[in-house]
Structures are given as C-alpha cells and as structure tokens.
Amino acid sequence: MIVMKFGGTSVADATAISALASAVADARADHPLVVVSAMSGVTDTLVAITAAMLHGEHLAVSAAREALRDRHLEVASDLGVMEQVHADLEAHLERLGTLVTDRRELTAAGRDAILGTGELLSSCLVAAAALADRGMPAVWCDARRVIRTDARFGAAIPDQAAIRQLAAQELRPHLDAGALLVTQGFIGATATGEPTVLGRGGSDFTAALLGAALDAERVEIWTNVSGLMTADPRIVPDAHVLAEATYDEAAELAAFGAKVLHPATQLPLVEAGIPIVIRNTFAREAPGTRIAAETATNAPQSVRSISIKRGVTVLQVRAARMLGAFGFLRRIFEVFERHEIVVDVLATSEVSVSLTVDPSPRLEQVVRDLAELGEVTLREHRAVIAVVGGAIRDTPGIAARVYQAIADVNVEMTSQGASTSNLTFIVREEEGPRVVRALHATFFGGPT
C-alpha cells in the first residue's frame, strides 16, 4: 500500500478535488490510503476564530463560521455530492458552533478541537467525491482514533507504538478488504480521547506516521509544486525541481523554511527506509522528487537547495566569565529548557553564545533570566539562510563561493559543520530574498 497526502491547495475547490480524485484513481493498483489537509486558508480562519474568541468578538466568530459553512457547502454542490455529505458537514459545523460559543474560557484542548475542524470537513468532501466521481467506494476514517498523541496541545507529540497498534486495528481491516480509505492529516487525540493537533503543516507528518505504521511502500506528498526545488519558487522564479534528495537534506531544508515538507516528516520513515515522493496534484505527469536515505545520482554540485526561514530572533549572551569556565553553556541552555523555547542555530566563541529562536511572548522572561549570566542582546526580524547539500562539509570551496556571492551583505552569524549537509547564516530579514537569489545564481545559474 501507499499513503497519498493532499495539501490545502489540492482540496481548495471542486476543480482541485477532481484532480485529486484522478490522482487517486491512477494509483488504485497501489492501494492508497488518502490523507487530506484542510482547504487552503481554513486552518488560518480557525486560528483567527480562536483569537476572536479570546477578544470576545462574537460577531467576527459567527461570521467566520458562516463563511466556512458556505465555502464547504458550495464545493459540495459543485462536486455534485451534496446529498451524500450534507449531514456530515452540518454535524462537524454544529460541533464547531458548540466549541466556539462555549462560555467557559478557551482551553488549550478546546482550541485544538477547533483547529482540527478543517480536516474533518475537507475529508468528508474528498471521500464523497472519490465515491461519486470514479466509482471508488471510499471509507471515511477518523484520524483521532489512530493518531495517538500526548497532551501537548497545539503541537502534540505522537506515540508511534500506539499508532502502529491502532492502525492495525482501525485501518488494516479496511485496507485488506480493498477499501479506499480517506482520513485527516494534522489531527490526533490523547489516550483519554481529547482532540489534539500536530502543529502547523502537520498533515505531512500524519502521512509519514501512517506510512510507517502500515509499512507503506512509499509516502506521497501531493501539493501545488512539482517537487522539492532548488529554492522556494516564490522567491526564485527560475528555481527547478530536484529529481531526488536525501532524508537529511529534506529535513534540513524543511527545518529552515522550505514549507513544502513538515520538518518531522522523515522521522518515522528513516528506520524502515520508506521513501517520500513529492508530487504535483496539478501536473500529474511530473515525476516529482524522491526522498530516501541515498540518492542514485549526485547533483554536479554538492549544494542541493537553498532555503530561508524568516521572522527569526537572534539572542546573544556575552560574558567574560565564560572564558575557560565550565558549566556555562549548560546554565544558558537550562534557561531555554525552563521556558520551553526551541533553539535552532547556534554559534559560540570563547566569551559569547549566539543562537536563534522563534519569536515568543516568553522571550522577555528568557532575556531576564539570561541577564543573570551575562550581557544579553536581542535582534529581531532576522532570517536564517540554509545552503543544503549532503556533501557540503566535505567539498572544499563552498563557503568561499557563498561569501563571495553575498560579499555586500552583513552576515551576522554563521554555523557550519554541525550537520554534514548544512551551512547556515543569519542576515537581516529584508535582505533575505536577495541573498537567496544571489546564492541560487551562484550555485544553479540564472539571473541574480
């Protein structure tokens, strides 16, 4: 069997869902399990609803809910499946209505239940469309019965052993009976049945978790580009699609801004060596990008792709006391651990530590705690640029070419060598796109 995951743009409207159904029909012989995201923009709307709830903006909440209802019913009508899905859509919308009008304070669990509604709605439409259009009987499965997570609401951690067992119980019998299964990405539930979500963009991760649990032949991520590219095509219009990449390269790119893949996607798949293939719902003839432990051919250059993560904050702690002292780094990192702040890029000198973090309201307290250890500076609106390629560390001259390409840019911090496949550095956010274009021209040709 294979897993086919379709992202937000692949379920955005009736045309997209028809393209999806064609892709699934083409893959019928591979026994697909279909995982879908919410329609594009819907999770953002649900996030906005929770924000409006916190501000007591009841009118905005009900207007947004009505808009969601209209959009889904319209697509159901366009697909000609209203009769099959109307009751199910209304049931999910009614549940959303109860959640958003709950007069008690919005809890973290309540918020996750709201955020997961988009996938419940879109999966109903997809299951019905597959059935109606192509004579493929689809079975709708509730992912919350399979994707068991902890109770870290907002970005819950999956329990892979439990998921394997639940998939065997809930999904395997349907697959064995030859049914086409349609389920939701992004959502899960705790052992006590409280709904959770895996974090933004988490549907890719769901696909991988199910692929690993069901020993899939491969996990296909269907999206609106024809694969992993040499750079984000929105920044570099002449970026091109890569035929292949390694798990490590894909993970580094995803961690540093390549939105096409959730950063955790490869994690459940590496051990079993299950490949990921990125495909384009709207260009089904394109072969896509195959991501696996090893690539068959190596690109002529060791640089595979360049990514950018914007909106990063850089913290620097300087302390003369650090010179020759031990235990200093531990004390710094304890502060981040205590406040549950994830550190991305790190560089150290004898007397200072620089690191990047995502913006968070908790940073204020972090800075206060760090100030007890040394002099702290905080710089916001930075971008991490990652030059990624499996052989970067072992290829002479890459760093020289990088710095030559961006000689006129102030590089504020650099980290290389911690990973064999990554050279990262920090620039001011507004310079980021220009830097990516200059690097792309250097390593892949084309206009600067």
* Residues near ligand ASP, by CB under 6 A: 7-8, 37-38, 43, 118, 185-186, 200-203
Distances (CA, A) of 2 to 5, 33, 116, 261: 10, 6, 24, 18
> Footprint of ligand ADP on residues 28-57 (CB under 6 A)?
37
DSSP letters along 143-154, please?
GGGT-BB-S-TT
Binding test (CB under 6 A) with ligand ADP, winner from 224, 295, 348, 352: 224
Query: Which of ligand ASP, ligand ADP, Mg ion, none does residue 200 bind to, with CB < 5 to 8 Å depending on kind?
Result: ligand ASP
Confirm or reject binding of residue 229 to ligand ADP (CB under 6 A): yes
Return d(Cα 448, Cα 439) in angstroms, integer.
8
CB 249 within 8 A of CB 305: yes
Q: How many residues touch Mg ion (CB under 5 A)?
A: 2
Q: How far is the CB of 286 from ligand ADP (least distance, A)?
A: 12
Query: Which of ligand ASP, ligand ADP, Mg ion, none does residue 242 bind to, with CB < 5 to 8 Å depending on kind?
Result: none
What residues form DSSP beta bridges with 229? 241
Nearest to 204 by CA among 109, 273, 268, 281: 268
Q: How far is the CB of 301 from ligand ASP (least distance, A)?
A: 31
CB 315 within 8 A of CB 367: yes
**Which residue's Cβ has the minimum distance to ligand ADP?**
7
Confirm or reject binding of residue 227 to Mg ion (CB under 5 A): no
- The 3 state secondary structure assigned to 28-75 is HHHCEEEEECCCCCHHHHHHHHHHHHHCCCHHHHHHHHHHHHHHHHHH
> Footprint of ligand ADP on residues 315-374 (CB under 6 A)?
none
CB 352 within 8 A of CB 411: no
Confirm or reject binding of residue 201 to Mg ion (CB under 5 A): yes
Q: How far is the CB of 202 from Mg ion (least distance, A)?
A: 8
> Taking the alpha carbons of 257, 221, 36, 224 in that order, is the dihedral positive or negative?
positive
Rank residues 14 and 373 by Cβ distance to ligand ADP and give the closer one. 14
Confirm or reject binding of residue 234 to ligand ADP (CB under 6 A): yes
Confirm or reject binding of residue 259 to ligand ADP (CB under 6 A): yes
Question: Contact residues for ligand ADP (CB under 6 A)?
Answer: 7-10, 37, 201, 223-225, 228-229, 231-234, 253, 258-260, 305, 307
